[in-house]
Structure 1
Amino acid sequence: MQRSDHLSVREFSVADAKAGPYGITPGPDGALWLTLVHSGEIARLAVDGELSRYPVGSAESRPTIITSGPDGALWLTRSADHHIGRITTDGSLTAFAPPEPGAGPYGICAGPDGALWFTEMNTDRIGRITTDGRITHFPLPTQGAFPSMITSGPDEALWFTLNQANAIGRLDLDGKVTLHRLPTAGAAPVGITCGADEAVWFVEIAAGQIGRLGVDGTIREFPLPDRSAKPHAITTAPSGECWFTEWGANRIGCITPAGVITEFDLPTPSSEPHGIAVGPDGAVWTALETGAVARLAP
């Protein structure tokens, strides 16, 4: 592990702490888009700091994870009022309700088949929604698993974390589910990303570790120096390393494919970093639940 100060960190205020910036993704328009989990809004942040905000439901709807879709729009989960949202870059909103009430959608990603795929925390299912709003479901073979974040993997399949089942799941496009149990008990995986090395990388929020799962099923775990750091979200940079948030330690971390970890302190104490993404400018951007977005660049 290395500690480094060789990054410039700039913070952009996007809301007060009551709004709660949470998820973040680069949009098709060259801006960052993020969820404001406590105010029922989506924010658009240009790389020069210009800000726009759009309501996407009631203040209690909890917009959570957001991703760019294959149709030039942004797609998001609303975990409290149980909808999937679609917002265009000019702020036009559509919402779709899964057929079963109380599903608790959380993670969402664009799939390899031109659809969006999402997790349902409360029903132990993975959902698929087409860009015109048609929803289908795939049940998981375990109960109380709490499926969390999801990513399109390196093998034309969907990979997702099962926070309470202590496992990583794989779902192919034919609906076959494979579970990979984690070596560390009670690791509670959350964030997951498709790596640049024929693997998916994930974070273990309760164990303070970063994990790598190859498409061959091989699992490696890399402990953080501070096992109480509570890593939350993770993303892959074009250069191959993965960047992750340490929600409990007020830091951003970077791990190379070889497992070398570097950490960077955030300037504002207790800023609660959650979502993380590589922006259209090549910098790393992270949503701070206390009301800002941080940009990290050399």
Structure 2
Amino acid sequence: MRAVAALLLLPAVLAAGVSSPQPLSPFSFYNLSTPLSGPCDICTGPDGALWVQNILVDKIARVDPATGDVEEYSIPYTSPPLNASLLSGFTGGRTASACAIRPGNDGNIYAVSGIRNQFLRINVTTRKIDVFTPTPYNPLGDVQPFNDLIACPNGMFFSQTTANVISHFNYASEIFTTYLLPTPLSAALGMIYFKDYLWFAELLGNKIGRLDPNDSSITEYPLTLSLLGPAVFRAALSNPDRVCFTAFLAGANGCLNINTGEIEVYPNTGLLPELSLPSENAKDEREGYEDIIYYSTATQNYINILNATSGEIFNIDEPDTLLAEPLSLPIYLDIGINYGPGDAVWFTQATENRVGRYCLGMSC
């Protein structure tokens, strides 16, 4: 099935009767300079580069897909209550444990700073990183390191899991607005902005939430145990309109029809799929592949491919995997996955301290 998936997804190599050579391997890897960085989340920047948020070191990395050059930029260390810059040498530069980075609609990139409960803006031209502290400041906002953020027309929404709130950062005013979630201890995590609403996953509440920015109302959709632990939204589909998410604790993926409320369940396949820990997903942006979703599995070294129309799931093995499942050996700890830059799927390998690229065609 894995070979079939590769054949289905790779474009034809013949054009006008002329054969176009394929590379020996569709995989390429880019190592980070700082040891034990723990690359975690990734996104495509407005500059066409791949941007990386590390979980084990307080740095943002940039990969130039054309040259393969990797640059790293240190996140300024500030005291959150005062938002005052401090020297970070005594911290070892490893005090954030952050794992979320997304492009804004204003030409910048935004990221979170994990357990510091702060918010980052990255200028892709100057590489300057500004640090913002949400107000009112809550030191318990993200005492565990995972939260998420997403762009909307006038700013960025981001989750504060242990504070049980969602916040909004306005691009122009730089003012924060906070929305308290109706379900206690729901642990809002992943989010996506689609059809004028913010959709978010409640990891512990086991619900999907919908926030209306116009009136601040929140609607919740309960999930069954077959979608236990909804984690990350990175895919929105049309015809019908659906938002799709990973179910971290169930070894599955789900899609919510935003018009009917119907919820589809896509269980993982293979040996002990409940141990696979689906983490992030990404939608294919090519014409004709609108229902293809890629997703990572933290304990299995696969590029997983879900056809959200047929329900079929295929897997592509990552190089040098000795045992693929139920737990891969060695475990690469894949978390981040992204379609693009280029005609490619990018992914992180935290234990290998690198990001990978899987070419889908000749233009990656």
Q: Shorter-chain TM-score: which interval?
A: over 0.9
- CA shift, 1:192, in A, is 1.0
Letter of the 2:268 counterpart: L
Q: Give a deviation string over 1:148-189, Cα, whole Å, max 9, x none.
A: 111112x21011111001111111112111111112267111
Of Structure 1 and Structure 2, the greater helix share is in: 2
Distance in 2, Cα, partners of 1:162 & 1:15: 35
Deviating 4+ runs (over 3 angstroms): none
The aligned residue for residue 142 of structure 1 is 183
Q: Match of 1:282? A: 343
Aligned position for 2:169: 129
Shift of 1:9: 1.9
Q: For 2:114 and 2:99, how far apart are their aligned partners in 1?
A: 7
- Could you tell me whether the CA contact under 8 Å between 1:41 and 1:63 is conserved in 2? no
Q: More deviation in 194-203 or 211-220? A: 194-203
Cα distance, 1:250 vs structure 2: 1.4
When the two structures are aligned, how many residues end up with a matched partner? Answer: 295
Scaled by the length of structure 1, the TM-score of the pair is 0.94
User: For residues 359 and 192 of structure 2, what CA distance do their matches in structure 1 show?
Assistant: 25
- AA matched with 1:38: L
Instruction: Name 1:292's counterpart in structure 2.
Output: 354
What residue is the counterpart of 1:56 in the other structure?
75
Measure the CA separation in 2 of the matches of 1:32 and 1:108: 17
Q: Say which SS state the counterpart of residue 142 (structure 1) adopts.
A: coil
Q: State whether structure 2 residue 109 is matched by structure 1 residue 65.
A: no
- Within 5 A, what are the aligned runs for 1:66-215? 66-89=101-124, 90-99=126-135, 100-102=137-139, 103-104=141-142, 106-111=147-152, 113-132=153-172, 133-153=174-194, 155-173=195-213, 174-184=215-225, 187-197=228-238, 198-215=241-258
Aligned twin of 1:19: 37
Identity of aligned residues (%): 24
* Separation (CA, whole Å) in 2 of partners of 1:109 and 1:260: 28
The CA RMSD measured in Å over matched residues stands at 1.6
CA deviation string 1:224-280 (max 9, x = no partner) = 114121100011111321110011111111111212211111114311111111112
Shift of 1:297: 1.6
1:249 alignment partner in structure 2:
300
Shift of 1:62: 2.4
Name structure 2 gaps, 5 residues minimum. 11-25, 77-92, 321-329
Q: Post-superposition shift, 1:146? A: 0.9
Amino acid at match of 1:118: F
Deviations, residues 110-136 of structure 1 (Å, cap 9, x unaligned): 01x321000011111111001142100
* CA distance in 2 between partners of 1:76 and 1:146 (Å): 18
Alpha carbons of structure 1 residues 172 and 194: separation in structure 2 relative to 1, 3 Å = farther
SS in 2 for 1:116: strand
Query: Match of 2:72, as an amino acid?
Result: R
Distance change >3 Å, CA 47–CA 178, structure 1 → 2? same
Instruction: Name the structure where strand makes up a greater proportion of residues.
Output: 1
* Paired AA for residue 203 in structure 1: T
Find the counterpart in structure 1 of residue 87 from structure 2: none
1:20 is displaced (CA, Å) by: 0.4
Structure 1 pair 257–20 and aligned structure 2 pair: CA distance change class (3 A): same
